[in-house]
Amino acid sequence: MKAAFITRTGPPEVIQFGELPDPVPGPTQCLIRVRAVDVNPIDVYWRAGMVPAPITFPFILGRDLAGVVAACGKEVRHFQPGDRVWCSNLGCGPRPGSFAELCAVDEDWLHPIPASVRDEDIVANALTGITAHLGLVGRAQLKAGETLFVNGGSGGVGSCVVQMGKILGARVITTAGSDAKVKLCRELGADLVLNYKTQNVDAAVREFAPQGVNVWWETLREPDFERVVPLLALRGRMVLMAGRDAKPVLPVGPFYVKDCSLHGFAMFNASAEEQRPAADAINQWMETGKLKARIDRVLPLSEATAAHRLQEESTVQKTGVLAGKIVLKP
């Protein structure tokens, strides 16, 4: 099969596109013919060697896939050849990545694709959608009527958090870095969208939510507690999910006297069982048109190097060149 893989970590140019042996599914695995994958910032960190975890080479990149079951191991119970399926959480632990024509995946990690949902749309909301659901529902326990602030609503995770916040009945404030992206965030349903480059975000948040923000979702890798804590409401929750090297100062007094809490998490720590409610919700909300995918561009898988370069520029170098996910097709 053709795959996009690395034999050492480094810049995007270390990615090779070539032949690797076809995977052979184990008894509880399905062999998937991959139709679409997407790029996530975590792919960039692994390829660049920024994640202190052992890698076995050749290492196939990619976390998410959408495809069709081509064959099933003897003990597979819930899927059969011809079923359309999606999954996340590949390319970590013992699981090879998704950037290939074929992939063997344990059925526990697979979810059906609703008939009306396209492969590229479901894959674009796979890792990001599961992350948004785990954080909003499992960690922050967002309630209808609460105010949710999403720092970075135009991004992969942020655009899912904004939409899910609205689905869950919250008042949603978010930020974006250009007028075009402000417009896109309004289309996602946010009640108040602020251009963080040209507007006084904190003043506008105070005006919109005088009692404070109930849930602050931080997508930046440099969280600023000295800024956020004064903007939190009584019993405010802050979700932290990025910034491996960040060491911000925490103003403890103003934080604890308001009964605030911090909720850090990494979606890859959630088991298949813990992720299933998130996947079920994503399926239901995408089928009913409540949750939409934001795709910047679709490229052939052979362009994986260019795709990584773009993702790195956009997320790590913060050029904001992307307005949505990059989807790749084998």
Residues that bind ligand NAP (CB under 6 A): 40-42, 127-128, 131, 151-152, 154-158, 175-177, 181, 196, 219-221, 241-242, 265-267, 314-315, 318, 320
**Closest separation between CB of residue 116 and ligand NAP, Å?**
25
CA distance 174 to 205: 9
CA distance 265 to 54: 21
Closer residue to ligand NAP, CB minimum distance, 144 or 269: 269
Cβ-Cβ contacts under 8 Å for 1 (sequence gap 6 or more): 19, 20, 21, 22, 23, 100, 101, 102
Least distance to ligand NAP, CB of residue 323, Å: 7
Residues sharing a CB contact under 8 Å with residue 56, sequence separation 6 or more, in sequence order: none
Residues in the chain: 330
Cis peptide before 58 (omega within 30 of 0): yes
Closer to ligand NAP by CB, 29 or 88: give it.
Answer: 88
Nearer to ligand NAP, 76 or 282 (CB): 282
Q: CB of 327 within 8 A of CB of 37?
A: yes
Strand 16-19's sheet: what is its strand order? 16-19, 2-6, 59-60
Is residue 169 classed exposed, middle or buried when 0-12, 13-18 and 19+ CB atoms within 10 A define those classes?
exposed
Give the nearer residue to ligand NAP in terms of CB position, either 102 or 270: 270
Q: Shortest gap between Cβ of 128 and ligand NAP (angstroms)?
A: 6
**Cβ at position 177, least distance to ligand NAP in Å:** 2
Q: Which is nearer to ligand NAP, 58 or 320 (CB)?
A: 320
As measured in angstroms, the least distance from the Cβ of 269 to ligand NAP is 8
Structure tokens at 231: 């903007």
- Placement of tokens 């099933």 in the chain: 72
Point out the residue whose Cβ comes nearest to ligand NAP.
155
DSSP 313: I
- Tell me how far, at minimum, the Cβ of 77 lies from ligand NAP, in Å: 29
Report the nearest approach of ligand NAP to the CB of residue 272 (Å).
Answer: 15
Nearer to ligand NAP, 104 or 278 (CB): 278
CA distance 282 to 87: 12
- Of the pair 31, 282, the CB lying nearest ligand NAP is at 282
Residues 221 and 242: their CA atoms lie apart, in Å, by 5
**Minimum distance from residue 54 beta carbon to ligand NAP (Å):** 20
Measured CA distances, 254 to 147, 208, 209 (Å): 19, 21, 18
Residue among 102 and 184 whose Cβ is closer to ligand NAP: 184
Q: Which residue has the tokens 């997508």?
A: 219
CA distance 140 to 131: 12
